[in-house]
Chain A
Amino acid sequence: MKESIVIENLTKYYNKFLALNDLSLSIPANENVGLLGPNGAGKSTTLKILCGLIRASSGTAYIDGVNVAEKPEEALSRIGVIVETPEFYGFLTPEETLGYLGRLRGMGGDKLKQRIKEVIKLVRLEDWGKVKIEKFSRGMKQRLALAQTLLHDPPVLILDEPGLGLDPRGVVEFREIIEKAGKEKTIFFASHQLVEVSQVCTQVAIIDHGRLLAYDSIAELEKKYKSLEGAYLELTEVPLE
């Protein structure tokens, strides 16, 4: 089966702090995989390396077979990304922002205009499309972040805590959108919300101290540890050598 994301022996140091410790992981195409771990486990670091925002100290990351460090633009053209709580230029409106990002990705003309309308409607920002983002709440920015992720219809979505800042309705709507998108895309989804992950993903990777502790289907983990929460708690409790 074709692999959408391949992580090979990734190690990352922030000065002397070891954030990722020889992490390896492969995500097949069209799989939805959750990345779980406590604070500081290395989730965001892993995703940021995949997005070319930071460099690994050693190891390699591939998106659709493209080495992210060697050909970042080619790798980035295949993904849609939400990292942490992204900020947007306050002087632009959502329509202008999506126009800018869409054009940078080679979209244009009526197709882009139509697609912008679609994604704005999808994330329920129709009434805010022409309002400057400086007036937006955190949740609205998160909705816009999701819109820009889906704008160019990428085959791979990399999402880091994408539900942050959303109200309960927003969380449900967001989950529905991701679930729908996940039927035809690969999703790599870092979150602390086990319920959210179990509803969107079929498999999870659990990491701590930058090391992979488990990578299996949710069903298997539930069978082995009684529940996903049980698996998470038991695995992340084990002291590392």
Chain B
Amino acid sequence: MSEFEKLGIVIGYEFLKHIRRRRLYVILGLTLIAELAVLILVPVLGDGFPDNVMVMAALLSVGPSLAGIGAIFFAGDAIAGEFEGKTGFILFTNPVRRTTLVIGKYLACYGAVILLVILGYVIVTISLLAIYGSVPIETLSSFGLCMLYAGSILSVTFFFSAISKGAMGATVITLVFVMVISAIVDSVLMMTGQPHWFLLSTNGDSIATVYGGYEAFMGGLGGGGGMMPFELETPNVGLSVLSMVLYLGVGFSASIWITKRRQLA
């Protein structure tokens, strides 16, 4: 039996895990709430929907982005859980390479996250068609960036899962890394005019700014571009893609390398 066949088996059962776990439906609920919040609050608190479809599309991209971040909750226990929960005593004593197991787990997690991301963009598309009668072509770029963002978040989570003793620790560390540390450093670098394309928070912003950048976005909401005491630099899409590919490749490779060497004592 080839490792490729084993990979298919691992993906199947790991995907079943995600389908049966509550967290998939929690993230799904949060994604729907985020989209509903935008669709209800923007016209209620503002002066109706923005005139520019691009602004509304950028606002609605919060849902799929949230689904991308949901990858953390799918993957936090992917590797650490096998060691912490002792399920590794059963799984790792089978004639399967640990590389195959990690790749299978990754692809199953990615499949579950992508389902949510696709659902998010279906809502974006239907909403924009209903409100404006059109969908900007940039939605495709936003979708692609969101897929890549989810993959890079997943890789970072796998890395922390591989080095953590427990699943909860891996989840919390990844959340802090992505949502707090990356965001703080991003703000500091942006305020001081330094490059910050290599930060995950900047890369996440590109999912929305692909619709026209911060200035068009703020202007479209009636705030103008000069509200901030410093210049908001719109993320460069090419550099964001490069950064996310690096996070994806390095994080994933490191998680495989560490898992292969990790001992289950």
- Cβ contact within 8 Å between B97 and A53: no
The segment from B45-53, B86-94, B140-148 that touches chain A is: B86-94
Q: Which of A54, A87, A101 contacts B265 (CB 8 A)?
A: A54
Chain A residues closer than 8 Å to B1, beta-carbon distance = 106
- Cβ contact within 8 Å between A81 and B6: no
- Cβ contact within 8 Å between A81 and B85: no
For chain B, what secondary structure do more than half of its interface residues adopt (helix, strand, loop), or is it mixed?
loop
Q: Which of B10, B90, B95, B265 contacts A86 (CB 8 A)?
A: B90
B17 within 8 Å of A (CB atoms):
yes
- Cβ contact within 8 Å between B6 and A87: no
B16 within 8 Å of A (CB atoms):
yes
A115 within 8 Å of B (CB atoms):
no
Q: Which of A45, A53, A100 contacts B88 (CB 8 A)?
A: A53
Give min CB distance, B84 to chain A, whole Å.
10
Count A interface residues, CB 8 Å. Answer: 33
Q: With A54-B263, A84-B86 given, is the CB distance from A101 to B92 under 8 Å?
A: no
Chain A residues closer than 8 Å to B13, beta-carbon distance = 92, 96, 100
- Cβ contact within 8 Å between A53 and B263: yes
Report the tally of A-B residue pairs with Cβ distances under 8 A.
73
How distant is the Cα of A76 from the Cα of B96 in the complex, in angstroms? 9
Q: With A53-B263, A55-B263, A76-B94 given, is the CB distance from A86 to B89 under 8 Å?
A: yes
- Cβ contact within 8 Å between A77 and B95: yes
How distant is the Cα of A54 from the Cα of B89 in the complex, in angstroms? 11
Contact size range, B: 20 to 34
How distant is the Cα of A62 from the Cα of B150 in the complex, in angstroms? 43
Q: Which of B6, B10, B90, B92 contacts A88 (CB 8 A)?
A: B90
Chain A residues closer than 8 Å to B86, beta-carbon distance = 84-87
Chain A residues closer than 8 Å to B6, beta-carbon distance = 104
- Cβ contact within 8 Å between A76 and B21: no
- Cβ contact within 8 Å between A14 and B265: yes
B228 within 8 Å of A (CB atoms):
no
**What residues make up the interface of B, taking CB atoms closer than 8 Å to A?**
1, 6, 9-10, 13, 16-17, 20-21, 85-90, 92-97, 263-265
**What residues make up the interface of A, taking CB atoms closer than 8 Å to B?**
14, 45, 48, 51-55, 72-74, 76-77, 79, 81, 83-89, 91-92, 96, 100-101, 103-106, 145, 148
